[in-house]
């Protein structure tokens, strides 16, 4: 199941729950900067949201990033999180949902406690032309302004297709340049950045402070995804640039885990020794 289909089946979970809980600030001293992207555990979440979040907390994590609510009302999600001692500083929401009812996303995100709303993926139909990326930059600016008014921030998550030039222009660079620095931030997926042959630290240097969110995802020697710490990416070196990047939260993720719980345990062990 690809990310677009996965997010689509959970769209019903963004129900008519009104805002009422303010977004959380990062808590100091309890490692909330290290979290899990729950797409890694999508099969487990589909079976039981409560049991999956409990297992995440028992691993040692204190933060999670949602990719759909699995038909659970946002207020119930917040109750489960609070019960397990978890926070959810960020959530992924598909483009079609954002364009259809961004106000509802804002309400639900604030109820859950998200500080960042993240656009996670573009379908092939949504990224055929440079004009589509230009429109997207305008949308991101508008949504970022709406987020700021509610004490939240807007972010864009990359894959590798944003680095394929269109009309001689790299779409990722276009998004960086045409989005406003106080309204739009970026969630850097370190695996996809490497897959595209790009240097994460160079982007931090050229665009300081714009990368508060990272996806902590490793790459095997053959270019495939790998459990964090078993691949070739130097996370210690990358993490040394955290201040330049504006780093706030890193989410362990693997799209294709053989054993999802083993994967997040490996990620926790690796990053806890670095962070």
Q: Note the pLDDT tens digit of each residue in 182-204.
A: 999 999 999 999 999 999 999 99
In this prediction, residue 120 carries a pLDDT of 98
What are the phi and psi torsion angles at 251 (to 5°)? Answer: -115, 120
Alpha-carbon torsion (223, 213, 49, 4), positive or negative: negative
How far apart are the C-alpha atoms of 265 and 185, rounded to whole Å? 28
Instruction: Tell me the CATH number for domain 3-272.
Output: 3.20.20.150
The stretch 146-171 carries a mean pLDDT of 98
Residue 5 confidence (pLDDT): 44
Q: Report the C-alpha gap between 145 and 118 in whole angstroms.
A: 14
DSSP 212: -
Higher local confidence (pLDDT), 30 or 79: 79
Task: Please report the pLDDT score of residue 29 as a whole number.
Answer: 40
What whole-number distance in Å separates Cα of residue 215 and Cα of residue 190?
Answer: 6
Give the position of tokens 């790299």: 170
Taking the C-alpha atoms of residue 217 and residue 35, their distance in angstroms, rounded to an integer, is: 12
Alpha-carbon torsion 74, 257, 219, 171, what sign?
A: negative
What's the pTM?
A: 0.89
Q: What's phi and psi for 150, nearest 5 deg? A: -110, 10
Which residue is associated with the tokens 């977004």?
A: 23
Q: Which run of H or E residues covers position 108?
A: helix 95-112
Task: Please state the rounded mean pLDDT for residues 57-65.
Answer: 97
Query: Average pLDDT, whole number, for the chain?
Result: 91
Q: Put residue 44 in one of left, alpha, beta given phi > 0 → left and psi -120 to 50 → alpha.
A: alpha
Secondary structure element (H or E) that encloses residue 103, with its range: helix 95-112
**Contact predicate 47/106, CB 8 Å:** no
pLDDT tens, 100-144? 999 999 999 999 999 999 999 999 999 999 999 999 999 999 999
pLDDT of residue 245 exceeding 60, the answer is yes
Domain regions of the chain by residue span? 3-272
> Which phi-psi region, left, alpha or beta, contains residue 62 (left: φ > 0; alpha: ψ -120 to 50)?
alpha
What is the pLDDT, as a whole number, of residue 113? 98
d(CA 143, CA 169): 24
């Amino acid at each position: 199941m690809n990310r677009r289909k996965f997010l689509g089946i959970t769209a019903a979970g963004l129900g008519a729950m009104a805002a009422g809980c303010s977004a959380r600030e990062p808590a100091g001293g309890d490692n909330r900067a290290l979290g899990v992207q729950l797409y890694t555990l999508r099969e487990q979440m589909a079976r039981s949201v409560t049991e999956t979040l409990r297992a995440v907390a028992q691993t040692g994590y204190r933060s999670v990033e949602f990719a759909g609510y699995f038909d659970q009302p946002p207020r119930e999600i917040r109750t489960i999180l609070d019960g397990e001692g978890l926070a959810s500083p960020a959530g992924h929401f598909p483009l079609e949902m954002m364009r259809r009812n961004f106000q509802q996303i804002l309400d639900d995100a604030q109820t859950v406690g998200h500080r960042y709303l993240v656009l996670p993926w573009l379908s092939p139909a949504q990224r055929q032309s440079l004009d589509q990326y230009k429109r997207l930059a305008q949308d991101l600016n508008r949504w970022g302004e709406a987020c700021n008014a509610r004490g939240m921030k807007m972010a864009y998550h990359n894959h590798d297709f944003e680095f394929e030039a269109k009309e001689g222009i790299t779409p990722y660079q276009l998004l960086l340049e045409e989005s406003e620095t106080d309204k739009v931030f970026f969630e850097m997926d370190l695996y996809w950045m490497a897959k595209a042959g790009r240097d994460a630290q160079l982007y931090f240097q050229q665009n300081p402070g714009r990368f508060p969110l990272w996806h902590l995802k490793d790459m095997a020697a053959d270019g495939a995804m790998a459990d964090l710490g078993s691949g070739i990416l130097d996370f210690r070196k990358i993490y040394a640039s955290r201040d330049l990047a504006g780093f706030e939260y890193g989410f362990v993720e693997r799209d294709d885990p053989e054993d999802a719980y083993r994967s997040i345990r490996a990620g926790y062990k690796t990053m806890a020794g670095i962070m």
